[in-house]
Protein backbone atom coordinates (compact mmCIF):
# COMPACT_ATOMS: atom_id res chain seq x y z
CA UNK A 1 0.00 0.00 0.00
CA UNK A 2 1.06 3.59 -0.65
CA UNK A 3 0.33 6.37 1.82
CA UNK A 4 0.15 9.93 0.45
CA UNK A 5 -0.20 13.32 2.17
CA UNK A 6 -3.73 14.10 3.37
CA UNK A 7 -5.55 16.41 0.96
CA UNK A 8 -3.34 15.75 -2.06
CA UNK A 9 -5.79 16.15 -4.98
CA UNK A 10 -4.42 13.15 -6.85
CA UNK A 11 -4.88 10.99 -3.76
CA UNK A 12 -8.54 11.93 -3.36
CA UNK A 13 -9.17 11.23 -7.03
CA UNK A 14 -7.68 7.73 -6.99
CA UNK A 15 -10.12 4.91 -6.35
CA UNK A 16 -7.86 2.15 -5.08
CA UNK A 17 -7.77 0.05 -1.94
CA UNK A 18 -3.98 0.12 -2.20
CA UNK A 19 -3.62 3.90 -1.84
CA UNK A 20 -4.55 5.88 1.26
CA UNK A 21 -3.59 9.13 2.97
CA UNK A 22 -2.14 10.21 6.29
CA UNK A 23 -2.39 13.58 8.01
CA UNK A 24 1.09 13.71 9.55
CA UNK A 25 3.74 11.81 7.65
CA UNK A 26 5.84 11.33 10.78
CA UNK A 27 3.06 9.55 12.64
CA UNK A 28 3.94 5.92 11.91
CA UNK A 29 7.48 4.55 11.92
CA UNK A 30 6.32 1.23 10.44
CA UNK A 31 6.11 2.71 6.95
CA UNK A 32 8.98 2.58 4.54
CA UNK A 33 9.58 6.29 4.12
CA UNK A 34 10.31 7.38 0.55
CA UNK A 35 10.95 10.92 -0.67
CA UNK A 36 9.66 11.88 -4.11
CA UNK A 37 11.54 14.63 -5.97
CA UNK A 38 9.14 15.38 -8.80
CA UNK A 39 10.83 17.22 -11.67
CA UNK A 40 8.20 16.47 -14.32
CA UNK A 41 6.19 19.41 -15.71
CA UNK A 42 2.86 17.68 -15.06
CA UNK A 43 3.39 17.23 -11.33
CA UNK A 44 -0.01 15.80 -10.50
CA UNK A 45 0.08 13.17 -13.22
CA UNK A 46 3.56 12.15 -12.08
CA UNK A 47 2.29 11.86 -8.50
CA UNK A 48 -0.39 9.47 -9.67
CA UNK A 49 1.95 7.37 -11.81
CA UNK A 50 4.49 6.86 -9.03
CA UNK A 51 1.82 6.13 -6.44
CA UNK A 52 0.34 3.37 -8.57
CA UNK A 53 3.81 1.96 -9.32
CA UNK A 54 4.54 1.51 -5.62
CA UNK A 55 1.06 0.42 -4.61
CA UNK A 56 1.38 -3.21 -5.73
CA UNK A 57 3.88 -3.98 -2.98
CA UNK A 58 2.63 -5.71 0.16
CA UNK A 59 4.89 -3.37 2.12
CA UNK A 60 3.42 -0.04 3.24
CA UNK A 61 5.26 2.86 1.63
CA UNK A 62 4.87 6.47 2.70
CA UNK A 63 5.53 8.72 -0.31
CA UNK A 64 6.44 12.31 0.57
CA UNK A 65 6.74 14.84 -2.30
CA UNK A 66 9.67 17.25 -2.03
CA UNK A 67 10.84 20.20 -4.09
CA UNK A 68 13.90 22.33 -4.67
CA UNK A 69 13.60 25.58 -2.76
CA UNK A 70 13.14 28.76 -4.76
CA UNK A 71 11.73 27.23 -7.94
CA UNK A 72 8.76 28.82 -9.66
CA UNK A 73 6.34 26.55 -11.52
CA UNK A 74 4.57 27.28 -14.78
CA UNK A 75 2.68 24.04 -15.41
CA UNK A 76 1.50 23.29 -11.86
CA UNK A 77 -0.16 25.81 -9.54
CA UNK A 78 2.37 27.28 -7.13
CA UNK A 79 -0.20 26.86 -4.35
CA UNK A 80 -0.23 23.10 -4.95
CA UNK A 81 3.54 22.91 -4.66
CA UNK A 82 3.68 25.07 -1.54
CA UNK A 83 0.92 23.12 0.20
CA UNK A 84 1.83 19.52 -0.60
CA UNK A 85 5.57 19.56 -1.30
CA UNK A 86 8.22 19.91 1.39
CA UNK A 87 11.41 21.83 0.68
CA UNK A 88 14.38 19.46 0.66
CA UNK A 89 15.99 21.46 3.46
CA UNK A 90 13.00 20.70 5.69
CA UNK A 91 13.32 16.92 5.42
CA UNK A 92 17.03 16.24 5.03
CA UNK A 93 17.55 16.07 8.79
CA UNK A 94 15.08 13.20 9.19
CA UNK A 95 15.48 9.48 8.55
CA UNK A 96 14.35 8.20 5.16
CA UNK A 97 14.56 4.83 3.47
CA UNK A 98 14.32 5.70 -0.20
CA UNK A 99 14.27 8.48 -2.77
CA UNK A 100 12.68 8.64 -6.22
CA UNK A 101 13.84 11.35 -8.63
CA UNK A 102 11.78 11.69 -11.79
CA UNK A 103 12.71 12.70 -15.28
CA UNK A 104 12.51 16.24 -16.66
CA UNK A 105 12.30 17.65 -20.22
CA UNK A 106 15.86 18.98 -20.09
CA UNK A 107 17.75 16.53 -22.28
CA UNK A 108 18.73 19.16 -24.86
CA UNK A 109 20.45 21.25 -22.18
CA UNK A 110 23.90 20.57 -20.78
CA UNK A 111 23.63 19.42 -17.19
CA UNK A 112 25.66 22.37 -15.92
CA UNK A 113 23.21 24.76 -17.62
CA UNK A 114 20.17 23.43 -15.75
CA UNK A 115 19.14 26.20 -13.36
CA UNK A 116 18.90 23.89 -10.35
CA UNK A 117 21.90 21.67 -11.18
CA UNK A 118 23.87 22.59 -8.05
CA UNK A 119 20.87 21.94 -5.82
CA UNK A 120 20.26 18.60 -7.53
CA UNK A 121 23.90 17.65 -7.03
CA UNK A 122 23.52 18.48 -3.35
CA UNK A 123 20.48 16.22 -3.07
CA UNK A 124 22.25 13.35 -4.86
CA UNK A 125 25.30 13.71 -2.61
CA UNK A 126 23.09 13.80 0.48
CA UNK A 127 21.28 10.67 -0.68
CA UNK A 128 24.61 8.85 -0.99
CA UNK A 129 25.09 9.15 2.76
CA UNK A 130 21.53 9.16 4.08
CA UNK A 131 19.30 7.02 1.86
CA UNK A 132 19.27 3.24 1.48
CA UNK A 133 18.52 3.45 -2.22
CA UNK A 134 17.57 6.02 -4.86
CA UNK A 135 15.48 5.17 -7.92
CA UNK A 136 16.44 7.53 -10.77
CA UNK A 137 14.03 7.85 -13.72
CA UNK A 138 14.84 8.88 -17.32
CA UNK A 139 16.63 12.28 -17.32
CA UNK A 140 17.38 11.93 -13.61
CA UNK A 141 19.11 8.61 -14.33
CA UNK A 142 21.25 10.30 -16.97
CA UNK A 143 22.00 13.18 -14.60
CA UNK A 144 23.04 10.86 -11.78
CA UNK A 145 25.25 8.74 -14.04
CA UNK A 146 26.95 11.91 -15.24
CA UNK A 147 27.35 13.43 -11.78
CA UNK A 148 28.63 10.29 -10.11
CA UNK A 149 30.55 8.51 -12.85
CA UNK A 150 31.14 11.05 -15.61
CA UNK A 151 28.99 8.98 -18.00
CA UNK A 152 27.71 11.37 -20.71
CA UNK A 153 24.39 11.45 -22.49
CA UNK A 154 24.39 11.28 -26.30
CA UNK A 155 21.93 12.88 -28.69
CA UNK A 156 20.05 10.38 -30.84
CA UNK A 157 19.55 10.94 -34.55
CA UNK A 158 15.80 10.88 -33.92
CA UNK A 159 13.59 10.76 -30.86
CA UNK A 160 13.18 7.29 -29.39
CA UNK A 161 9.48 7.04 -28.75
CA UNK A 162 7.58 3.89 -27.99
CA UNK A 163 7.96 0.68 -26.04
CA UNK A 164 11.40 -0.85 -26.48
CA UNK A 165 12.50 -4.40 -25.76
CA UNK A 166 15.74 -4.69 -23.79
CA UNK A 167 17.88 -7.72 -23.07
CA UNK A 168 17.95 -8.78 -19.44
CA UNK A 169 21.69 -9.15 -18.80
CA UNK A 170 21.46 -10.57 -15.27
CA UNK A 171 18.49 -12.81 -14.53
CA UNK A 172 19.71 -13.39 -10.98
CA UNK A 173 19.99 -9.71 -10.02
CA UNK A 174 17.61 -8.84 -7.15
CA UNK A 175 16.14 -5.89 -9.06
CA UNK A 176 15.13 -8.19 -11.92
CA UNK A 177 13.87 -11.10 -9.83
CA UNK A 178 11.12 -12.99 -11.73
CA UNK A 179 11.68 -10.88 -14.85
CA UNK A 180 12.07 -12.65 -18.18
CA UNK A 181 14.89 -12.51 -20.75
CA UNK A 182 13.32 -9.47 -22.43
CA UNK A 183 12.10 -6.44 -20.51
CA UNK A 184 9.76 -3.87 -22.08
CA UNK A 185 10.11 -0.21 -21.14
CA UNK A 186 8.34 2.92 -22.47
CA UNK A 187 10.84 5.41 -23.88
CA UNK A 188 10.25 9.07 -24.79
CA UNK A 189 13.55 10.90 -25.20
CA UNK A 190 16.09 12.36 -27.62
CA UNK A 191 19.18 11.21 -25.71
CA UNK A 192 20.67 7.97 -24.46
CA UNK A 193 23.54 6.58 -22.44
CA UNK A 194 25.78 4.07 -24.18
CA UNK A 195 27.43 0.88 -22.99
CA UNK A 196 30.84 2.02 -24.20
CA UNK A 197 30.95 4.70 -21.50
CA UNK A 198 30.61 2.23 -18.62
CA UNK A 199 34.36 1.65 -18.62
CA UNK A 200 35.69 1.99 -15.07
CA UNK A 201 35.77 -0.71 -12.43
CA UNK A 202 33.28 1.19 -10.29
CA UNK A 203 30.82 1.89 -13.13
CA UNK A 204 27.30 0.64 -12.44
CA UNK A 205 26.39 -2.82 -13.68
CA UNK A 206 24.38 -2.73 -16.91
CA UNK A 207 21.29 -4.84 -16.26
CA UNK A 208 19.29 -4.14 -19.43
CA UNK A 209 20.36 -2.69 -22.77
CA UNK A 210 19.37 -2.68 -26.42
CA UNK A 211 18.72 -0.39 -29.36
CA UNK A 212 17.59 2.33 -26.95
CA UNK A 213 20.96 2.29 -25.20
CA UNK A 214 21.40 1.33 -21.57
CA UNK A 215 17.93 0.94 -20.08
CA UNK A 216 18.60 -0.19 -16.51
CA UNK A 217 21.77 -0.08 -14.44
CA UNK A 218 22.52 -0.51 -10.75
CA UNK A 219 25.46 0.35 -8.57
CA UNK A 220 27.74 -2.61 -8.00
CA UNK A 221 26.85 -2.56 -4.30
CA UNK A 222 23.16 -2.73 -5.26
CA UNK A 223 22.54 0.66 -3.69
CA UNK A 224 20.98 2.82 -6.41
CA UNK A 225 18.98 2.12 -9.56
CA UNK A 226 19.10 3.97 -12.89
CA UNK A 227 16.16 3.46 -15.28
CA UNK A 228 16.43 5.57 -18.43
CA UNK A 229 12.81 4.99 -19.45
CA UNK A 230 9.39 5.25 -17.82
CA UNK A 231 8.29 2.00 -16.20
CA UNK A 232 5.83 4.08 -14.18
CA UNK A 233 3.83 5.14 -17.24
CA UNK A 234 0.20 3.99 -17.36
CA UNK A 235 -1.13 2.34 -20.49
CA UNK A 236 -2.47 5.54 -22.10
CA UNK A 237 0.49 7.87 -21.54
CA UNK A 238 2.34 7.46 -24.86
CA UNK A 239 -0.95 7.82 -26.73
CA UNK A 240 -1.50 11.11 -24.90
CA UNK A 241 2.00 12.36 -25.77
CA UNK A 242 1.60 11.33 -29.40
CA UNK A 243 -1.66 13.21 -29.91
CA UNK A 244 -0.49 16.16 -27.82
CA UNK A 245 2.50 16.66 -30.10
CA UNK A 246 0.43 16.11 -33.24
CA UNK A 247 -1.92 18.84 -32.02
CA UNK A 248 1.05 21.19 -31.63
CA UNK A 249 2.38 20.31 -35.10
CA UNK A 250 5.58 19.02 -33.53
CA UNK A 251 7.65 16.38 -35.34
CA UNK A 252 6.49 13.07 -33.87
CA UNK A 253 6.15 9.52 -35.12
CA UNK A 254 3.68 6.91 -33.98
CA UNK A 255 5.01 5.24 -30.80
CA UNK A 256 6.86 2.07 -31.75
CA UNK A 257 5.66 -1.32 -30.50
CA UNK A 258 2.77 0.32 -28.67
CA UNK A 259 -0.46 -0.04 -30.59
CA UNK A 260 -1.60 -3.59 -31.29
CA UNK A 261 -0.55 -4.41 -34.87
CA UNK A 262 0.63 -0.77 -35.08
CA UNK A 263 -3.03 0.24 -35.39
CA UNK A 264 -4.55 2.80 -33.04
CA UNK A 265 -8.00 1.34 -33.55
CA UNK A 266 -6.84 -2.06 -32.31
CA UNK A 267 -5.90 -0.76 -28.87
CA UNK A 268 -2.70 -0.62 -26.84
CA UNK A 269 -0.39 -3.47 -25.89
CA UNK A 270 0.39 -2.94 -22.18
CA UNK A 271 3.55 -5.01 -22.58
CA UNK A 272 5.50 -3.34 -19.74
CA UNK A 273 2.84 -3.81 -17.04
CA UNK A 274 4.31 -6.95 -15.45
CA UNK A 275 7.91 -5.76 -15.78
CA UNK A 276 7.04 -2.49 -14.05
CA UNK A 277 5.24 -4.25 -11.22
CA UNK A 278 8.12 -6.68 -10.63
CA UNK A 279 10.89 -4.08 -10.75
CA UNK A 280 9.22 -1.60 -8.41
CA UNK A 281 8.31 -4.40 -6.01
CA UNK A 282 11.87 -5.75 -6.14
CA UNK A 283 13.24 -2.28 -5.40
CA UNK A 284 11.05 -2.02 -2.32
CA UNK A 285 11.69 -5.55 -1.05
CA UNK A 286 15.40 -5.93 -1.84
CA UNK A 287 16.82 -2.40 -1.92
CA UNK A 288 14.77 -0.69 0.79
CA UNK A 289 13.25 -3.29 3.07
CA UNK A 290 16.10 -5.80 3.28
CA UNK A 291 18.84 -3.29 4.11
Q: Tell me which residue of 107, 206, 212, 217 sits closest to 164, measured CA to CA.
A: 212
Torsion angle, alpha carbons of 112, 230, 66, 76, to 10: 90
Active site residue 129: no
**Residue 13 contacts by C-beta under 8 Å, 6 or more apart in sequence?**
48
Distance of CA 98 to the CA centre of its chain: 13
State yes or no: 188 annotated in a binding site. Answer: yes
Catalytically annotated residue among 10, 47, 192, 232 = 232
**Residue 159 contacts by C-beta under 8 Å, 6 or more apart in sequence?**
188, 189, 190, 251, 252, 253
- 3-class SS of residue 117: helix
Catalytically annotated residue among 47, 107, 138, 184 = 138
Active site residue 138: yes
Neighbours of 115 (CB within 10 A): 12
Contact 218, 175 (CB under 8 A): yes
Active site residue 154: no
Catalytic residue list: 138, 230, 232
Residues at the binding site for substrate are: 159, 188, 244
Amino acid sequence: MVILPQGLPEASGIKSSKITTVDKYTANKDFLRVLFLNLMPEKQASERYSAFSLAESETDVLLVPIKIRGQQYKTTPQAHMDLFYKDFECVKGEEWDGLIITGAPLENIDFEEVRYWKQLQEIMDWADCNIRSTFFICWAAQAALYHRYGIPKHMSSRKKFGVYAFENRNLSHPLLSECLNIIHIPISRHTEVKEKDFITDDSPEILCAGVGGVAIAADTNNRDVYVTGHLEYPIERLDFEYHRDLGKNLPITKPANYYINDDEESGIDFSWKDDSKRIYNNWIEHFLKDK
